[in-house]
Copies of this chain bind each other. A is one copy, B any other.
Amino acid sequence: MSRSVYAVIMAGGSGTRFWPASRGSRPKQLLPLAGGDLSLIAETVERIAPLVPSERVLVVTSELLAEATAAELSMLPPENILAEPLGRNTAPCVGWAAAHVRRRDPSAIMMVLPADHHIGDPETFRKTLATAIAAAADGALVTVGILPTRPETGYGYIEQGERISDGVYAVTRFVEKPDLARAEQFLASGGFVWNSGMFFFRADAVLAEFERQLPAMAAQLTEYDAAAKEGREAEVVRSTYASLESVSFDHGIMERAQRIAVVPGSFGWSDLGSWTTAYELASKDAAENAVRADGVLVDSSGCYVSAPNGKLVALVGLHDLVVVDTGDVLLVMPRERAQDVRAVVDVLKSRRDPRV
């Protein structure tokens, strides 16, 4: 039996690691950070288009971002944009989207994808997704795990268990972000993959888990269904969303779900965690400079330069710097200090500067 497939794109994020390009009102997923012309969220939709037509792509974002997100994804029906009145972590987000899918087709399979990742090999990515979709058909909650390439301490890990079918494995356990020693062990021992935050399940299966593990939330979602029949969903969501438990989907549902599986994959995945990653993904000149500006670079190498159209950026004698000019803000820092953009953002927040 072939089930219809929906995609739910989680796009409520508002990180600061790509400041000053990203702002509260224009976060990372709305920016073309992967080197092309498309925003990350538009790339996400385009990437899965061979698997899911746009009328079955739902996006969950915040009310603040709903308009800009809809404008960025003009191929989607407007009703496919779900606007959370406030962020309550990922469990309510997935649950609400699952309720929407269930209304349309209870046995449909839905995949849940982050809006702001980069995939270097979309073809292999789609093959991995097809495997995960197939594995979800009989009611399992499936995640895709990324084959690790370094002892990363910034991600959660999943330990694979026995093989269930081709490319599909049982899950032995979820592991929180490890310290470096444990991360090195995981990498050396094999059988551990990074938790990608991508999930695959039937709408009815995941909502059954909500009823079992988060019954109050499940009851609220049922009320949303009832309100939707009366055309009052937005109103009821706005008045009740804050009462939903703020918990991650991993922690609230996946980790203790009755039937879970993992599909390991390797497809040039990056969560685009900082300007350093943007540099790594960008095309570069002979001196390893990634220049997204009208640049004149003299005796300079390894620099990432971004500036508004028409602006001339001249560098002399500089190496491994990030230079980002957004018109109203200029940021300059060594590439290796990219995580410390947070220090600047903290200063601006403390002085209530609107340019955050």
Using CB atoms and an 8 Å cutoff, list the residues of chain A in contact with chain B. Answer: 20, 296, 298-299, 307, 310-318, 321, 323, 325, 328-334, 337, 340-341, 343-344, 347-348, 353, 355
Q: Select one of B330, B340, B341, B347 contacting A330, CB under 8 A.
A: B330
Chain B residues in 8 Å Cβ range of A313: 329-330, 332
Oligomeric state, in copies: 2
Q: Which of A20, A344, A347 has its CB near the most chain B CB atoms (within 10 A)?
A: A344
A315 to B325, CA, bound (A): 12
Q: Which of A299, A315, A317 has its CB near the most chain B CB atoms (within 10 A)?
A: A317
Q: Select one of B312, B328, B340 contacting A328, CB under 8 A.
A: B312
Whole-angstrom distance between the Cβ of A272 and the nearest chain B Cβ = 19
A331 to B307, CA, bound (A): 12
Q: Select one of B20, B311, B316 contacting A344, CB under 8 A.
A: B316
In the complex the two chains form, is B334's CB within 8 Å of A318's CB?
A: yes
Q: Select one of B298, B332, B341, B348 contacting A318, CB under 8 A.
A: B332
Chain B residues in 8 Å Cβ range of A318: 321, 332-334
In the complex the two chains form, is B316's CB within 8 Å of A340's CB?
A: yes
In the complex the two chains form, is B315's CB within 8 Å of A332's CB?
A: yes
In the complex the two chains form, is A328's CB within 8 Å of B311's CB?
A: yes
In the complex the two chains form, is B355's CB within 8 Å of A298's CB?
A: no
In the complex the two chains form, is A314's CB within 8 Å of B330's CB?
A: yes
Whole-angstrom distance between the Cβ of A356 and the nearest chain B Cβ = 10
In the complex the two chains form, is A316's CB within 8 Å of B343's CB?
A: yes
Q: Select one of B299, B314, B329, B347 contacting A332, CB under 8 A.
A: B314
User: Closest B-chain residue to A324, C-beta based?
Assistant: B314
A334 to B348, CA, bound (A): 26
In the complex the two chains form, is B296's CB within 8 Å of A311's CB?
A: no
Chain B residues in 8 Å Cβ range of A325: 325, 330
8 cross-chain pairs, A with B, having the tightest CB-CB distances, nearest first: A316-B333, A317-B337, A314-B344, A312-B329, A298-B343, A314-B331, A313-B330, A316-B340
18 extra interface residue pairs, beta carbon distance < 8 Å, beyond A316-B331, A316-B334: A20-B314, A296-B344, A296-B348, A298-B340, A298-B347, A299-B340, A307-B330, A312-B330, A313-B329, A313-B332, A314-B330, A314-B341, A316-B333, A316-B337, A317-B334, A317-B340, A325-B330, A332-B332
Q: Which of A298, A341, A353, A355 has its CB near the most chain B CB atoms (within 10 A)?
A: A298
A347 to B313, CA, bound (A): 12
Question: 22 A–B contact pairs at CB < 8 A?
Answer: A20-B312, A20-B314, A296-B347, A298-B347, A299-B337, A299-B343, A311-B328, A312-B329, A312-B330, A313-B329, A313-B332, A314-B331, A314-B332, A314-B341, A316-B333, A316-B337, A318-B333, A321-B332, A323-B330, A323-B332, A325-B330, A330-B330
User: Closest B-chain residue to A351, C-beta based?
Assistant: B296
In the complex the two chains form, is A314's CB within 8 Å of B334's CB?
A: no
Whole-angstrom distance between the Cβ of A325 and the nearest chain B Cβ = 6
A323 to B316, CA, bound (A): 11
Chain B residues in 8 Å Cβ range of A333: 314-318
Chain B residues in 8 Å Cβ range of A299: 337, 340, 343
A125 to B330, CA, bound (A): 40
A341 to B314, CA, bound (A): 9
In the complex the two chains form, is B337's CB within 8 Å of A310's CB?
A: no
